[in-house]
Amino acid sequence: MSDQAPLTDRPAPIEFREGFVRRELTRAAIWLGLIAAMAVTVLLVQPLLVIFAGLVFATLLDGGVRLLGRVLPIGRGWRLLIVVLAVTIFLLGTFFLTGVEVTQQVTQLRSTLETQAGRVTGWLAEQGMMPKTSDINGLLKQSVGSIGKLTSWVGTAVGAVTTMFMILIIGLFLAMDPEGYARGLQWFVPRAVRAEFAITQGRVMSTLRRLLAGRLLGMAVEGVLTGIALMIGGVPMALLLGIIAGILAFIPNIGAIITGALMIAVGFSAGQDTGFWAIGTYLIVQTFDGYVVVPMVAKRTVDLPPALTLSTQIIASALFGILGLALADPMTAMAKSALQRRSEREAEQDGETARAGADI
């Protein structure tokens, strides 16, 4: 006689055999999962931005490695080492040659901007178009205090250095084995759609590489032209303004506006003629960049509508701060590439369905 109790075929209290109940629970689980994913994304938005910035940096390194591979048939690891050493030597050499001058110009730029801002706000206050200086100072203190509470995670120098260090480390690790990490990401996708996901993934990363290549070219052109033109016109701090113009060229639209404001403010601090020279330099460089460099780059890289780019930058800066503003353009390009691939896939499926119907 066995001690095992007889098995029963009655459903357990937590078992749902009815199809309707099972479907509704599945839908509820999906919605709850989406809500949980959105909540986690909001809570972890800063670390996610750091990881995405690391991906952007890795893409820059990967682009250099691929470009070097066209002329040097050596292993990927050696090419990556050459790219990293070249970038390091360039940055250290630039800092060594211009570090003292740039440091002095940074201090001078700050005092110049404070003086010019005081003149402008004072003139506006006299015209009754702005509050008095004391009221403005009070508002600025309140604003800075509020912003400091919201951005305490990256608001300190230690946080900024730590964030930059993590971006560099993540980017370096991703650049060492991009295909391995790509396969690992594909592993999380169901096998039924894994092949299509791999195609979309490759398309998105190719778009990002081309976008960043175009950005680097635009940054170099705008920075060099701005610095040379300002030096010819005798504008103070021309070297620093050229470097700032090149860096801010990574952020379309908004970067150009900030660069223009700085150039004009510094130009008029040295005299009226110098101020008009700064205005002319800004207009000429931006015109050349907008009508020559950008169209030439867009034909071979990624053409993003200016209104879409600016709207994304405004939203990203409002939600995620300065890091979101800097990464808004790569995010937009990647999303556009993924949506284009989805549209192509739907068109292919419609074509296959039409051909199958014609054969019948």
Q: Measure CA 326 to chain center.
A: 4
Mean of the pLDDT values across residues 24-42? 75
CB 270 within 8 A of CB 141: no
Query: Which residues touch 108 (CB under 8 Å, ≥6 apart)?
Result: 236, 237
Least confident of 65-74, 95-104, 253-262: 95-104
Instruction: Give the confidence band of 10 by pLDDT, cuts at 50, 70, 90.
Output: low
Instruction: Give the confidence band of 102 by pLDDT, cuts at 50, 70, 90.
Output: low
Average pLDDT value over all residues in the chain: 77
Closest CA to 251 of 206, 284, 219, 295: 219
Statement: residue 4 has pLDDT above 70: no
Instruction: Give the confidence band of 144 by pLDDT, cuts at 50, 70, 90.
Output: very low
pLDDT at 151: 41
pLDDT per residue over 276-315, tens digit each? 898 898 888 888 877 777 677 666 667 677 778 788 888 8
pLDDT per residue over 219-240, tens digit each? 888 888 888 988 888 888 888 8
Q: Longest C-alpha distance within the chain, in Å?
A: 110
| Residue ranges per structural domain of the chain | 45-343
In angstroms, what is the C-alpha Rg of the chain? 27
Instruction: Give the confidence band of 147 by pLDDT, cuts at 50, 70, 90.
Output: very low
pLDDT at 185: 85
Token pair in block for residue 360: 């019948």
pLDDT at 210: 87
pLDDT at 8: 47
Residue 237: C-alpha distances to residues 226, 234, 254 (Å): 11, 9, 21
Question: What is the three-state SS of 39-79?
Answer: HHHHHCHHHHHHHHHHHHHHHHHHHHHHHHHCCCCCCHHHH
Least confident of 32-46, 50-64, 92-106: 92-106
pLDDT per residue over 110-122, tens digit each? 777 777 777 777 7
Q: CA-to-CA distance for 64 and 80, rounded, in angstroms?
A: 8
pLDDT at 336: 86
Token pair in block for residue 9: 């075929």
CB 296 within 8 A of CB 170: no
Closest CA to 345 of 186, 197, 210: 197
**Residue that wins the pLDDT comparison between 339 and 29:** 339
Please state the φ and ψ torsions of residue 37, each to the nearest 5 degrees: -65, -40
Q: Tokens 């170099």 identify what position? A: 220
Statement: residue 1 has pLDDT above 80: no
Q: CA-to-CA distance for 227 and 98, rounded, in angstroms?
A: 13
Token pair in block for residue 37: 């994913």
Region of residue 252 (phi > 0: left; psi between -120 and 50: alpha; otherwise: beta): beta
pLDDT at 130: 59
**Considering the chain, what percentage of its residues have pLDDT values greater than 70?**
76
pLDDT per residue over 149-184, tens digit each? 434 444 455 667 788 888 889 999 999 888 888 888
